[in-house]
C-alpha cells in the first residue's frame, strides 16, 4: 500500500499504534496521546489463519506479519497518519506479569528521605534487580527458563510497614518496594521484536494483559486486588486469577465465542463474531462455564467466592446478551464457583479514552484500549521512579 508523505508527520511523540495479537484476530488502533487522555483516531482488524501465533515455520511468521500489517493499514486509512511507535499486547500465556517485593535497609533511619537519596535507593536496588526478579519468578513457576523482562513498575512503597505514596519526607529504617514486572520467554520476545521490525515500527512496550486491564479499569492499588479476569476470544478463553495483586494462575482453553455460535447455528460458523449473533443454547454456556471452573480447580485453598469474575473480549458479548441465563446456570452448581459474581467490562469502562472513529461499541477492543491507557499512565507518571528501573534493567 502506498502511503503519501503527509502521513509521516513530525508529531510522532503524540501518536502510536496499539496492536492486540489475539488467537483469532489482530486488532490495531491508531491513538493520539493528549495531556490527560487518549483518543482513538483509526481502527483496523484482520483475521489470522488457523495456526495463530508462535508456530515455528517461516510461513506462519510471514502470515502473522501480513495480518498485522493489514490491520495497521486499515487503521491508517482512517487516521491518515502512520505512527512508528507501537505498544503490543499478547495473550497472558506469552507475556506474563507478577509482583515481586524488594527490601532496602537505610543506613540513617532517623533522617528524612530526600529526593537525592530516593533516586540513589532506586539506582541501588536496580543493580541486582534482574537476578532477584528472575529468582523469585522461577521459584514460583518451578523451573528455569531464559526470561526477558519487558517492563517494571513500582505499584506500592512501604516504610517500616506503613504504605506511603512517596517516601520523600518520611523517616524509617526499612523501605519495601512492591514491583510489577512483565516478562516473557526470550525466544517469544525475539519473535515479537522481529514482527515489529518487519512492520517498520519501534516497540514502546510489550504488555501483560491482565494487569493492563485492571489498571485501565481504574483499579489503582493492584496489590489489594482479588479478581478473576476472563478474556473470551473468538477461538480461546484465558482465565487469569489475581489474588492480592499476585497472579496465581493463567490458563487458556480452546473454547471461545466462535465455538458457541457455531454450535448454536448447526456448525455454520460466522467469519467473525461481529457478524449477526444468534441466541446461544444453555448447553453451550455450560461447556464454557465448565472450562472456567476447571481453570480454578487448583486454587481451592483460596476463598474464591469472594472474588468477582470480570469477562471481556469479543466472545463475552454472548454471555452479556444472555446474562440472566448464565447467572442461573452458575447458581445451579454445587461448588464455590456458584457463589462468585460475574460482571462484564465494556469499552466505556476504560478510563480516559476518546473514540473519534465511533466504531468501538463493545468489549472486543478491551486489550488494545488497555494497552493504550497504559501508555497514558506511563506518560503522566514520569515523576515516579519507574524510568530509572526500566533504563537499568531493560536494554
Q: Burial, 5: exposed, middle or buried (Cβ in 10 Å; 0-12, 13-18, 19+)?
A: exposed
Q: Which domain holds residue 300?
A: 218-344
More confident residue, 339 or 202: 202
Separation CA 198–CA 175 (nearest Å)? 44
Residue 213 lies in a domain: no
Residue 279 pLDDT: 54
Instruction: Indicate the pLDDT class of residue 326, thresholds 50, 70 and 90.
Output: confident
| Interval 170-227: pLDDT, tens | 999 999 998 878 888 888 888 889 999 999 999 988 887 777 787 777 666 666 778 8
Measured on CA atoms in the order 252, 254, 258, 261, is the torsion positive or negative? negative
Together in a domain, 271 and 283: yes
* For residue 110, pLDDT beyond 60: yes
**In degrees, to the nearest 5, what angle opens at C-alpha 368 toward C-alphas 243 and 66?**
125
Q: Burial, 309: exposed, middle or buried (Cβ in 10 Å; 0-12, 13-18, 19+)?
A: buried
Instruction: Indicate the pLDDT class of residue 264, thresholds 50, 70 and 90.
Output: very low
Beta-bridge partner residues of 184: 95, 148
Separation CA 117–CA 119 (nearest Å)? 5
Separation CA 324–CA 346 (nearest Å)? 18
Beta-bridge partner residues of 157: 164, 177
Together in a domain, 249 and 326: yes
Separation CA 259–CA 315 (nearest Å)? 9
Residue 287 lies in a domain: yes
Q: How many residues does the chain have?
A: 395
Together in a domain, 164 and 240: no
Separation CA 262–CA 269 (nearest Å)? 4
Together in a domain, 149 and 289: no
Together in a domain, 389 and 330: no
What are the helix (H) ranges across the chain? 58-79, 115-127, 129-141, 186-199, 209-216, 257-264, 282-295, 316-321, 323-331, 366-380, 386-393
Total structural domains within the chain = 3
Residue 337 pLDDT: 83
Residue 21 lies in a domain: yes
Residue 77 lies in a domain: yes
Instruction: Indicate the pLDDT class of residue 313, thresholds 50, 70 and 90.
Output: confident
Question: Could you tell me which of 60, 157, 170 has the C-alpha nearest to residue 104?
Answer: 157
More confident residue, 8 or 376: 376
* For residue 127, pLDDT beyond 50: yes
**In degrees, to the nearest 5, what angle opens at C-alpha 223 toward C-alphas 220 and 227?**
85
Identify the residue whose cell numbers are 534493567.
Answer: 393
Together in a domain, 223 and 331: yes
- 248 and 242 in contact (C-beta within 8 Å)? yes
Residue 254 lies in a domain: yes
Please tell me whether residue 257 adopts helix, strand or coil conformation: helix
Following DSSP, what letter does each residue of 98-147 receive, concatenated? EEEEEEEE-S-TTSPP-HHHHHHHHHHHHHTHHHHHHHHHHHHHTS---E
Together in a domain, 67 and 197: yes
Average pLDDT over residues 29-57: 79
- 131 and 149 in contact (C-beta within 8 Å)? no
More confident residue, 271 or 147: 147
Question: Could you tell me which of 35, 128, 99 has the C-alpha nearest to residue 382?
Answer: 35
Residue 5 pLDDT: 37
Together in a domain, 41 and 65: yes
Separation CA 310–CA 316 (nearest Å)? 10
Together in a domain, 244 and 316: yes
Together in a domain, 243 and 278: yes
CB-based contacts of 155, cutoff 8 Å, min separation 6: 99, 178, 179, 180, 221, 222, 223, 245
More confident residue, 141 or 338: 338
CATH number at residue 204: 3.30.420.40
Together in a domain, 99 and 85: no
Least confident residue range of 68-77, 101-110, 214-223, 275-284 = 275-284
Together in a domain, 251 and 327: yes
Amino acid at each position: 500500500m502506498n502511503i503519501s508523505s503527509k502521513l509521516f508527520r513530525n508529531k510522532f511523540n503524540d501518536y502510536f499504534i496499539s496492536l492486540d495479537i489475539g488467537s483469532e484476530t489482530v486488532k490495531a488502533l491508531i491513538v493520539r496521546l493528549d495531556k490527560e487522555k487518549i483518543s482513538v483516531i483509526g481502527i483496523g482488524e484482520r483475521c489470522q489463519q488457523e495456526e495463530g501465533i508462535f508456530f515455528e515455520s517461516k510461513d506462519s511468521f510471514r502470515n502473522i506479519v501480513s495480518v498485522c500489517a493489514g490491520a495497521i493499514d486499515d487503521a491508517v486509512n482512517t487516521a491518515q497518519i502512520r505512527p512508528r511507535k507501537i505498544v503490543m499486547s499478547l495473550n497472558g500465556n506469552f507475556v506474563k506479569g507478577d509482583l515481586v517485593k524488594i527490601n532496602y535497609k537505610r543506613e540513617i533511619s532517623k533522617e528524612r528521605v530526600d529526593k537525592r537519596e530516593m533516586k540513589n535507593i532506586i539506582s541501588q536496588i536496580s543493580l541486582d534487580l534482574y537476578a532477584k526478579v528472575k529468582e523469585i519468578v522461577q521459584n514460583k513457576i518451578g523451573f528455569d527458563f531464559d526470561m526477558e523482562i519487558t517492563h517494571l513498575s513500582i505499584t506500592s512503597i512501604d516504610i517500616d510497614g506503613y504504605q506511603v505514596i512517596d517516601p520523600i519526607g518520611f523517616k524509617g529504617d526499612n523501605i519495601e518496594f512492591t514491583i510489577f514486572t512483565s516478562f516473557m520467554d526470550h525466544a517469544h520476545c525475539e519473535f515479537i521484536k522481529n514482527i515489529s521490525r518487519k512492520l517498520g515500527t519501534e516497540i514502546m512496550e510489550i504488555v501483560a494483559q491482565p494487569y493492563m486491564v485492571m489498571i485501565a479499569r481504574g483499579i489503582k492499588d493492584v496489590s489489594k486486588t482479588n479478581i478473576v479476569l476472563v478474556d473470551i476470544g473468538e477461538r480461546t478463553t484465558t482465565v487469569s486469577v489475581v489474588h492480592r495483586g499476585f497472579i496465581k494462575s493463567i490458563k487458556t482453553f480452546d473454547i471461545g465465542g466462535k465455538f458457541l455460535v457455531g454450535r448454536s447455528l448447526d456448525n455454520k460458523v460466522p467469519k467473525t463474531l461481529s457478524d449477526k449473533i444468534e441466541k446461544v443454547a444453555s448447553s453451550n454456556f455450560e461447556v464454557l462455564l465448565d472450562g472456567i471452573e476447571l481453570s480454578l480447580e487448583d486454587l481451592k485453598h483460596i476463598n474464591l467466592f469472594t472474588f468477582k469474575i470480570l469477562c471481556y473480549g469479543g466472545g463475552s458479548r454472548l454471555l452479556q446478551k444472555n446474562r440472566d441465563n448464565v447467572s442461573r446456570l452458575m447458581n445451579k452448581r454445587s461448588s464455590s464457583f456458584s457463589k462468585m459474581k460475574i460482571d462484564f467490562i465494556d469499552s466505556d469502562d476504560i478510563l480516559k479514552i476518546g473514540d473519534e472513529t465511533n466504531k468501538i461499541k463493545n468489549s472486543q477492543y478491551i486489550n488494545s484500549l488497555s494497552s493504550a491507557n497504559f501508555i497514558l499512565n506511563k506518560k503522566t507518571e514520569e515523576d515516579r521512579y519507574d524510568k530509572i528501573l526500566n533504563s537499568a534493567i531493560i536494554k
